[in-house]
């Protein structure tokens, strides 16, 4: 049984509600979870408020940086156990889960390092006997809501800067993948975080999540998840004019010009599209390939997709795990049907795997659609599964036009041997991250976020800390006197 964590105590839900989390590999139960209702949301927000108004407010940046560095150490100490938990809960390979723990550690270390690096600035007031400075203050109580594809990593992108800036927090992991977040809260307890600074709610988005974002005691909401939920959350944040940051996924172009190393580019296209079964907000799910290369490229891509080994994330031979849930696989399968009905050519996958040992899990074979064009829904919508579409282009202008022909704008890539072309295309793409001759790497010190419907705000980098800070101007007149503005 896993509990809520409110005001420094592990607790059942006030109404005794529970839910099960299951293993997506075989649909067997993994654990029972307390399921928060509105009374628990009220208690968590009240605890966060009390902590914000209490000693945490007087904590120094140095204290908070030391805490984040300690969490980084504990994450590494528990690396194997955390990776195992994450793999079981999400279905991803344990290798990828290890990389997630390492990336999470790097994020805590980064914000431990930068927390105190910028204490504000002194400005020239342009007049005598005045000093004027800008200071940074925490925003207040932050509601941090994470999705199921990178549970540990996504909550940490929010939690590390929120705490570094001196906020208090109420976090809610996805109901589908809460276990690594529960473990992370355990590490904060071990590091003796004061009660109320970090509160954990487990539960459904439509109940606990909705009550949390609607709560008037919350000053800031940071959310990563689907577009529709993001729109609801932004509407909730409007009531009371609360701050909001949203990361809402993407439909990311991966543009391939002729002339780069063939094996390298096909290999990277596979990783871009099928890492974590394509359940990645920045997945390279929309390949845009130059005419002269197209036919050999798609043939090799499909052949290699057919060889991807599916299985349990814990099996070292596995290259792709299952999708997260039956409902999510059904959504992806609807897109496969839609792609077929829209006239795309199915070159690989499109089916559940035939192996009997995979029948109970939520598997779908890596799927390659060629002959796609920009009007198809399977090209425009975020499918968020192991489905890649291939379009073709002949000129650089056409590649740019296609790459920007999306309502989203999270990430994209360009593969070319021509450095000038690489810079021109990267400069013209309207996406928050552009890779040149690579796909997927991100850096804790570099901003991450989207243009268009991919969201608002930025995580990581200095801007990721800014999201959690108020800026205050302190104007100090050291020699005050009458203004003589009014004569009477």
Out of 11, 59, 76, 210, point to the residue binding ligand TXE (CB under 6 A). 210
Q: Decide if 142 is catalytic.
A: no
Please say which residue, 74 or 283, places its beta carbon nearer to ligand TXE. 283
Q: Which residues fall within 8 angstroms of residue 160, CB to CB, at 6 or more apart?
A: 68, 107, 108, 110, 111, 112
Q: How far is the CB of 204 from ligand TXE (least distance, A)?
A: 6
* Count of residues interacting with ligand TXE (CB under 6 A): 26
Q: How far is the CB of 384 from ligand TXE (least distance, A)?
A: 4
Q: Which of residues 7-46 bind ligand TXE (CB under 6 A)?
A: none
135 phi/psi in degrees, rounded to 5: -115, 160
Is 232 a residue that touches ligand TXE (CB under 6 A)?
A: yes
Q: How far is the CB of 432 from ligand TXE (least distance, A)?
A: 12
173 phi/psi in degrees, rounded to 5: -75, 170
The beta strand positions in 29-98, using DSSP E, are 29-34
327: number of Cβ within 10 Å = 10
Q: Which residues fall within 8 angstroms of residue 126, CB to CB, at 6 or more apart?
A: none
Q: How far is the CB of 354 from ligand TXE (least distance, A)?
A: 25
Tokens of 88: 């079981």
Q: How far is the CB of 148 from ligand TXE (least distance, A)?
A: 6
Q: Which residues fall within 8 angstroms of residue 140, CB to CB, at 6 or more apart?
A: 49, 52, 167, 168, 219, 220
Site string for ligand TXE, 326-355 (x = CB under 6 A): -----x------------------------
H or E stretch at 452 = none
DSSP for 130-184 reads: EEEEEEEEE-SEEEEE--SSSHHHHHHHHHHHHHHTT-EEEEE--TTS-HHHHHH
C-alpha–C-alpha distance, residues 279 and 226, integer Å: 12
Is 362 a residue that touches ligand TXE (CB under 6 A)?
A: no
Position closest to ligand TXE via CB:
205
- Which of the stretches 74-82, 219-227, 386-394, 463-471 binds ligand TXE when contact is defined by CB under 6 A? 219-227
Q: Which of residues 169-198 bind ligand TXE (CB under 6 A)?
A: 172, 174-175
Out of 145, 152, 372, 434, point to the residue binding ligand TXE (CB under 6 A). 145
Catalytic one of 247, 333, 391, 396: 247
- Which of the stretches 62-70, 146-154, 312-320, 399-407 binds ligand TXE when contact is defined by CB under 6 A? 146-154
Sign of CA dihedral 427, 264, 287, 252: negative
Beta bridge partners of 136: 471
Is 247 a residue that touches ligand TXE (CB under 6 A)?
A: yes
Catalytic one of 142, 281, 320, 372: 281
Q: Which of residues 255-314 bind ligand TXE (CB under 6 A)?
A: 281
Contact in structure between 165 and 468 (CB atoms under 8 Å): yes
Out of 13, 185, 213, 273, point to the residue binding ligand TXE (CB under 6 A). 213
Measuring CA to CA, which residue among 384, 351, 348 is closest to residue 369? Answer: 348
Out of 147, 151, 409, 464, point to the residue binding ligand TXE (CB under 6 A). 147
Residue with tokens 């209490």: 54
Site string for ligand TXE, 369-388 (x = CB under 6 A): -------------x-x----
Catalytic positions = 247, 281
- Residues of this chain that interact with ligand TXE (CB under 6 A) are 145-149, 172, 174-175, 205-206, 209-210, 213, 224-226, 229, 232-233, 247-249, 281, 331, 382, 384
């Amino acid at each position: 049984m896993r509990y809520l964590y409110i005001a420094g105590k592990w607790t059942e839900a006030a109404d005794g509600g529970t839910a099960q989390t299951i293993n997506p590999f075989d649909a067997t139960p993994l654990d029972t979870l307390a399921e928060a209702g509105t009374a628990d949301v009220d208690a968590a927000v009240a605890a966060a408020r009390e902590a914000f108004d209490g000693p945490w407010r007087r904590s120094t940046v140095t204290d908070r940086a030391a805490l984040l560095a300690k969490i980084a150490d504990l994450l590494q100490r528990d690396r194997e156990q955390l990776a195992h938990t994450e793999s079981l809960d999400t279905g991803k390979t344990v290798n990828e889960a290890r990389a997630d723990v390492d990336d999470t550690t790097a994020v805590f270390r980064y914000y431990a390092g930068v927390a105190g690096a910028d204490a504000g600035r002194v400005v020239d007031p342009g007049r005598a006997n005045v000093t004027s400075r800008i200071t940074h203050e925490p925003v207040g109580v932050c509601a941090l809501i994470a999705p199921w594809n990178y549970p540990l990593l996504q909550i940490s992108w929010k939690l590390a800067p929120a705490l570094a800036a001196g906020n208090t927090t109420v976090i809610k992991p996805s109901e589908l993948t809460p276990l690594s977040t529960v473990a992370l809260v355990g590490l904060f307890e071990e590091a003796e975080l004061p009660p109320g600074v970090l509160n954990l709610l487990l539960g459904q988005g439509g109940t606990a999540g909705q009550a949390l974002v609607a709560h008037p005691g919350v000053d800031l909401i940071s959310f990563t998840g689907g577009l529709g939920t993001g729109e609801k959350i932004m509407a909730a944040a409007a009531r009371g004019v609360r701050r909001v940051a949203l990361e809402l996924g993407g439909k990311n172009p991966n543009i391939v010009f002729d002339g780069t190393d063939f094996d390298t580019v096909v290999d990277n296209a596979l990783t871009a599209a099928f890492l974590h079964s394509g359940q990645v907000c920045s997945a390279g799910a929309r390949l845009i390939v130059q005419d002269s290369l197209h036919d050999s490229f798609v043939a090799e891509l499909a052949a290699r997709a057919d060889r991807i080994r599916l299985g349990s994330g814990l099996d070292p031979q596995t290259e792709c795990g299952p999708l997260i849930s039956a409902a999510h696989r059904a959504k992806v399968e609807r897109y496969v049907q839609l792609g077929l009905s829209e006239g795309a050519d199915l070159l690989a996958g499109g089916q559940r795997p035939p192996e009997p040992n995979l029948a109970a899990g939520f598997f779908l074979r890596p799927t390659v659609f060629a002959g796609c064009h920009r009007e198809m829904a399977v090209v425009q919508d975020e499918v968020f599964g192991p489905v890649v579409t291939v379009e073709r282009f002949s000129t650089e202008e056409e590649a740019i036009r296609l790459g920007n022909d999306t309502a989203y704008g999270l990430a994209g890539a360009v593969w070319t041997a021509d450095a000038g072309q690489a810079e021109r295309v990267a400069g013209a793409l309207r996406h928050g991250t552009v890779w040149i001759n690579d796909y997927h790497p991100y850096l804790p010190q570099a901003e991450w976020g989207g243009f268009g419907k991919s969201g608002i705000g930025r995580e990581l980098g200095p801007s990721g800390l800014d999201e959690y800070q108020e800026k205050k101007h302190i104007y100090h007149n050291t020699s005050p006197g009458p203004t003589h503005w009014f004569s009477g």
